Structure 1
Amino acid sequence: MKILLSPRFWAPHGWLGDLLSAARLLTRLPLGAVSARPSEPVASHPARCYPLVGAGIGALAALAFAVGAWLALPPFACALAALAVSILVTGALHEDGLADVADGFGGGHGRERKLAIMRDSRIGSYGVLALALVLTARGGSLASLADTGAAAAALIAAHTLSRGGLAALMAAQPLARSDGLAAATGRPGGADAVIAFAVGGLAAFLLLDFGVAVVAILACAVVQLGLGLQAQRQIGGMTGDVLGAAQQLGEAAVLLAICAGAAP
């Protein structure tokens, strides 16, 4: 953790480069192709900027919700607009990971078979059910927040916080396969994981009531840790699909916690 005290770790050009790399990976914005990680040692990993990219995605989704409210659409239609924008911006990257993990973990027998199913582009019944349940949880939670400001805060907090724990999963878990997206992006260090989690937590405390923020952070951490442990047991570690599923489950958990906190 000494790297946290290193000037190289905090260099502005390093942060800008990591932010661009993270945005290229996590979104479909026209920012150029994802570049491979350099072979020489570097001071940081783009994963520390994942929650910052999440904040941007959440802000765009919040804008869609606000436009829907301005057009006097019902709350559920506003929630659907927000979900649609986030899916378009990310190219359904995380939703695809969730479906693949559900199909692999639910329908496969043995590590190699599970990994093969996760790599198959076709979607099965487990994947469909997982997507339906998580999308319903996200949309239903947002629809319950009729106030546009509350919905915007919830969206930004959920997208930021759900990506804040990904660096920790990447750093703590071994890779389940030697190729694929997770292997290509490399593994972050402990300092990257601490910063990413801190950014996600800070966003929650700035945007939500203190008690709700605490519950949201705990809920996100529990579901992502649980998925990480399940991935370790089922396939021996981490893949890009598992990280996508962790983001989706974390986002749903945060929105449900906010929904519960807003209940009368």
Structure 2
Amino acid sequence: MSQRENLQKEKTLLLLAISFFTRIPVSLPKEITADQLNKASRYFAVVGIVVGIICSVVYLVSINYLPKSLVILLAMAASILVTGAFHEDGWADVWDGFGGGWSVENKLNIMKDSRLGTYGATALFIILLLKYQSLMALASPVVALILANTLSRVVATSLIYKMPYVALDATSKVKSVTQGLSTNNLIILLVTGLLVSVGFLPLGECFLLFVILFLFRSLLVFWFNRQLGGYTGDCLGAAQQSSEIVIYLSLLIFGYGTAVSNASTGVAN
């Protein structure tokens, strides 16, 4: 295969990843195979970069005219509009299933139900409030939005690697994605996250953040295995949302909050 053909192949995979996780219109070939959709997972972190940049642009444009509290809400709304609340839906479904189900089959049935229950509604309210308050507490959330949207998708997608997928039937919208994550795709995913991290944070803080996310990923693996014996597409959405919050909180612990001046914080500028 020529270099041009390879580039076209990778471009298709990138566009496929964007079309799968966002509402951004892209031009794709008429026929997309399950194998292509599975390989597109290598670019899920890039999708996070795109979403983070869009949210940051909304913030930067709006902050000149509106109070920060409103601007944060607009940035969050932009994320929801761009992704179609794809991950938030998974977060709510997971809490509905885990909170209301007794057996694995029962939990999966509840998670598949399109209706929103008390557990899911409460969890959705809490995650959105945590996101809002965390972004408000940051001196400037611009870089944090890019960093968190990227790394949270690295964490979520990495769960596909060697973790069993569970579902009641073969109709899941993410079935093709969940056919395992190859080592090559995992490396591309991790390198993307690493490059974004070292571009915005000191090496020491990059290392600490990766340790925190690795430990949190281990907690997610334990939780999902205990509840289902594996993961579903909704679990990936829940992993993305919760990891995003962990990243915001980590940045606050690192000292990038409003009490720290912009002159002394790299990520806050």
**Same fold? TM cut 0.5:** yes
Structure 1 stretches of 4+ with a deviation exceeding 6 A read: 33-36, 41-44
Determine if the alignment matches structure 1 residue 211 to structure 2 residue 188. Answer: no
Determine if the alignment matches structure 1 residue 51 to structure 2 residue 45. Answer: yes
Aligned to 1:166: 156
Deviates more, 1:189-198 or 1:86-95: 189-198
CA pair 103-85 structure 1, distance change in 2 beyond 3 A: same
Aligned to 1:38: 33
CA distance in 2, matches of 1:36, 1:234: 36
User: What's the offset of the Cα at 1:181?
Assistant: 2.3
SS of structure 2 residue aligned to 1:170: coil
Per-residue Cα deviation, 1:77-107 (whole angstroms, up to 9, x for no partner): 2211111100100000000000000111111
Determine if the alignment matches structure 1 residue 221 to structure 2 residue 211. Answer: no
User: What's the offset of the Cα at 1:258?
Assistant: 1.1
SS of structure 1 residue aligned to 2:176: helix
**Alignment of structure 1 residues 12-23 onto 2, 5 Å:** 12-23=7-18
SS of structure 1 residue aligned to 2:13: helix
Determine if the alignment matches structure 1 residue 69 to structure 2 residue 63. Answer: yes
CA pair 7-52 structure 1, distance change in 2 beyond 3 A: farther
User: What's the offset of the Cα at 1:58?
Assistant: 0.1
Q: In the alignment, which of 142, 146, 149 is matched to residue 152 of structure 1?
A: 142
CA distance in 1, matches of 2:155, 2:108: 23
* Structure 1: segments with no counterpart, 5+ residues: 1-5
Q: Do 2:131 and 2:245's aligned partners in 1 also have CA atoms closer than 8 Å?
A: yes
Per-residue Cα deviation, 1:26-54 (whole angstroms, up to 9, x for no partner): 00112268987636x67971111001011
Q: In the alignment, which of 179, 182, 188 is matched to residue 174 of structure 2?
A: 182
CA distance in 2, matches of 1:223, 1:238: 15
Amino acid in the other structure paired with 2:246: A
* Structure 2: segments with no counterpart, 5+ residues: 261-269
Determine if the alignment matches structure 1 residue 108 to structure 2 residue 101. Answer: yes
Aligned to 2:21: 26
CA distance in 2, matches of 1:11, 1:43: 16
Q: Do 1:108 and 1:114's aligned partners in 2 also have CA atoms closer than 8 Å?
A: yes
CA distance in 2, matches of 1:253, 1:19: 26
Identity of aligned residues (%): 34
Determine if the alignment matches structure 1 residue 202 to structure 2 residue 195. Answer: yes
CA distance in 1, matches of 2:221, 2:31: 25
Structure 2 length as normaliser, TM-score? 0.85
Aligned to 2:264: none
CA distance in 2, matches of 1:112, 1:43: 27
**Alignment of structure 1 residues 79-94 onto 2, 5 Å:** 79-94=72-87
Aligned to 1:193: 186
Structure 1 length as normaliser, TM-score? 0.87
